[in-house]
Amino acid sequence: MDLNYIDEGKILKIFTYPSPILKKIATNVEVFDDELKELCRNMLTTMYDAPGIGLAAPQVGISKRIFVMDVEFDRKEVTAADGQTKYEIVDRKPLIFINPVIKNKEGQFKYEEGCLSLPGIYDEVTRAKKITLEYQDLEGNKKEIEAEDLFAVCIQHENDHLDGVVFIERLSMLKKNFFHKKLVKRKKMYSDSP
């Protein structure tokens, strides 16, 4: 995909926990049209803007089986004309997965995860180390990819969003309840303020 094309996308609203959309099971994409391309482009723009390494459609309020990802980009410090320090996204490798299905899981890998829908929450989750993923591209072509370590973790995290699961639900009941209370309280604080 043309990288300039990504910058032209819109920044979408990211829904945060405990928003009901994050609990819904997303449905398969049936139509591979321009609307789908536009959604994926907007999701990538939103992900890089956040910045995050992955974003699933339910996180932007669309209950469809789509996620976008880039586990390789870097942020470069640049000095703007007004002398302020800004960050520029470099070395992008945007990926789009439509109707993904995890076919094979091997080994174990522990990684400290975060999520754009659970701001400020980070914890270690154990997932499979190596996976095989079947998916479709923007044209509807069937593809398969093997992923390991961080790449595999990110796919499993994003795929969970399509099944209405956020990563704190992969933690112990104690931690899950702790984070749930913290996030609900924070949400209330925000909605009470003008």
Q: Using the rule CB under 5 A, which residue among 12, 115, 162, 171 binds Zn ion?
A: 115
Give the CB-nearest residue to Zn ion: 115
Residue 53 CB, nearest approach to Zn ion (Å): 10
Using CA atoms of 33, 153, 70, 184 in order, give the dihedral in degrees to the nearest 10: 80
- In our burial notation (b when 16+ CB lie closer than 10 A, e otherwise), range 62-99 reads bebbbbbbbbebeeeeeeeeeeeeeeebeeeebbbbbb
Q: Toward Zn ion, which CB reaches closer, 145 or 165?
A: 165
Using CA atoms of 43, 46, 47, 52 in order, give the dihedral in degrees to the nearest 10: -150
Give the binding range for Zn ion (CB under 5 A) out of 28-36, 86-94, 96-104, 109-117.
Answer: 109-117
Residue 116 CB, nearest approach to Zn ion (Å): 6
Residue 117 CB, nearest approach to Zn ion (Å): 5
* C-alpha distances in Å from residue 81, one per residue of 7, 77, 86, 166: 20, 13, 10, 41
Q: Name the phi and psi angles at 17, rounded to 5.
A: -55, 140
Residue 187 CB, nearest approach to Zn ion (Å): 17
Structure tokens given for 145? 């990819």
Beta strands in the chain (DSSP E): 54-56, 66-69, 74-79, 85-90, 95-106, 109-113, 123-127, 130-136, 142-148
68 part of the interface to Zn ion, by CB under 5 A: no
22 part of the interface to Zn ion, by CB under 5 A: no
Q: Toward Zn ion, which CB reaches closer, 29 or 56?
A: 56
Catalytic residues: 158
Q: Toward Zn ion, which CB reaches closer, 23 or 32?
A: 23
14 part of the interface to Zn ion, by CB under 5 A: no
Q: Toward Zn ion, which CB reaches closer, 60 or 115?
A: 115
Give the binding range for Zn ion (CB under 5 A) out of 1-9, 27-35, 108-116, 125-133.
Answer: 108-116
What residues make contact with Zn ion under the rule CB under 5 A? 115
